[in-house]
Structure 1
Amino acid sequence: MPITPASGPSAETAAASPAPNGSTESIMLELVDEAGTTIGTAEKLAAHLAPGQLHRAFSVFLFDERGRLLLQRRALGKYHSPGVWSNTCCGHPYPGEPPFVAAARRTGEELGIAPALLGEAGTVRYNHPDPASGLVEQEYNHLFVGLLKETPRPDPQEIGETAFVTPDELAKLRAEGPFSAWFMTVLDAARPAIRELTGAAAGW
């Protein structure tokens, strides 16, 4: 299983980071109702404190020309779920930022790449506590799938490792080490779009 060392500039790693206007302040998230309608905002860390506040998020799944999924191992310095494997990229739109725009933005910030043929893959709502940190993922998650035609250039403050995996290699990796609490939920929800993108032969 090929592993790519992480490298690149720094980006968002905690609740306090540069905001869109360039100032350093607490990142704000969009709070939503069960239908995904925006009902307010909350500071990032506060939204994840138990029992959690339902907020908007996104998850990206990128595949290479062989139909392999690009995974990332979250950097050890992350305040939430450090050191675990997860999908290609995930995060939160800024208030008022379209989820598609946020997904493309964060993929560039974390991996130094622009996804090709990035498309919507539905939404999923979940409630996943993280046993290690005590934080809670109460999220209304927008899913996106696409192709990767560039070599990733991971930001080491965001990503510790990357790996391209087949379904069999993913199963083996999941048996060997921890994954993010939300990983299988978002992967399963995105499977119809993933199969349409990669084809039946890829096995997803």
Structure 2
Amino acid sequence: MPTSPTSPTSPATANTEATGALQEILLELVDEHGTTIGTAEKLAAHQPPGLLHRAFSVFLFDERGRLLLQRRALGKYHSPGVWSNTCCGHPYPGESPLAAAARRTHEELGISPSLLAEAGTVRYNHPDPASGLVEQEFNHLFVGLVSAAPEPDPEEVGETAFVTAEELAARHAEAPFSAWFMTVLDAARPAIRELTGPSGGW
């Protein structure tokens, strides 16, 4: 159930059981304008029909203008084993989307962007047929540059790849991608083109 907002940057509330501590991760609920209206437990927010919550999506490019993709680890409860953009996630209640994007990119991929810039927002409702969960998200988009090689956390990321726009199109036609991937990519394209230049093909 939704609750009132928690204190800034508080990642979770902890419930202690006999077997140890079970953390309840909270997401920030928002209205259609992106204004915070409360919090909800992460899994509950993704149960049909879904609760609109704040999220972020990151698109990082190397010096050749190639996009860094990740294939989500098979152990993920939501959309396991599918390809997606560099990093996606949810800010903690009270955490800025930019700070969350940088934090989560480092946690999942072991890299820190040399540039990370806001690229607008997009609101969507995407069911995930495989898990039965729903992505009702107000998504903050970020584009940036990366120069270091990824060192993924295997619990989060199964594989990475740098791809050109042409290579992405071929891969997208053959391999499963996250339900939200094309929505966030299309919304970020103006900022991506500004970042990579007209010759990048994005």
TM-score of the aligned structures, taking structure 2 as reference length:
0.90
Q: Distance in 2 between matches of 1:48 and 1:67?
A: 34
Q: Is residue 62 from structure 1 mapped to residue 60 from structure 2 by the alignment?
A: yes
Question: Where in structure 1 are there 5+ consecutive unaligned residues?
Answer: 1-18
Q: State the 1:187 CA deviation.
A: 0.2
Counterpart for residue 131 of structure 1 = 129
Q: Is residue 82 from structure 1 mapped to residue 84 from structure 2 by the alignment?
A: no
Q: State the 1:175 CA deviation.
A: 1.2
Q: State the 1:20 CA deviation.
A: 6.3
Q: Distance in 2 between matches of 1:129 and 1:123?
A: 19
Q: Distance in 1 between matches of 2:158 and 2:195?
A: 27
Q: Distance in 2 between matches of 1:117 and 1:172?
A: 28
Q: Distance in 1 between matches of 2:45 and 2:12?
A: 19
Q: State the 1:25 CA deviation.
A: 1.0
Corresponding pairs, count: 187
Q: State the 1:21 CA deviation.
A: 8.6
Once superposed, what is the RMSD of the aligned Cα atoms? Answer: 1.5
The one-letter code sitting in structure 1 at the alignment partner of 2:102 is A
Q: Distance in 2 between matches of 1:117 and 1:65?
A: 12
Question: Residues 105 and 20 (structure 1 numbering): CA distance in 2 closer, same or farther, change over 3 Å?
Answer: farther
Q: Distance in 1 between matches of 2:67 and 2:85?
A: 8
Identity of aligned residues (%): 80
One of 86, 89, 92 as aligned partner of 2:90:
92
Q: Is residue 191 from structure 1 mapped to residue 189 from structure 2 by the alignment?
A: yes
Preserved contact between residue 45 and residue 51 of structure 2 (Cα < 8 Å): yes
Counterpart for residue 153 of structure 1 = 151
Question: Where in structure 2 are there 5+ consecutive unaligned residues?
Answer: 1-10, 15-20
Q: State the 1:176 CA deviation.
A: 1.1
Q: Distance in 2 between matches of 1:161 and 1:24?
A: 28
Question: Superposed, which structure 2 residues align to 1:1-204 within 5 Å?
Answer: 19=11, 24-204=22-202
1:57-89 deviation per Cα after TM superposition (whole angstroms, max 9, x unaligned)? 000000000000000000000000000000000
Q: Secondary structure at the match of 2:160?
A: strand
Q: After the TM superposition, which parts of structure 1 deviate over 2 Å for at least 4 consecutive aligned residues?
A: 19-24
Higher relative contact order (CA 8 A, sep 6+): 1
Q: State the 1:41 CA deviation.
A: 0.2
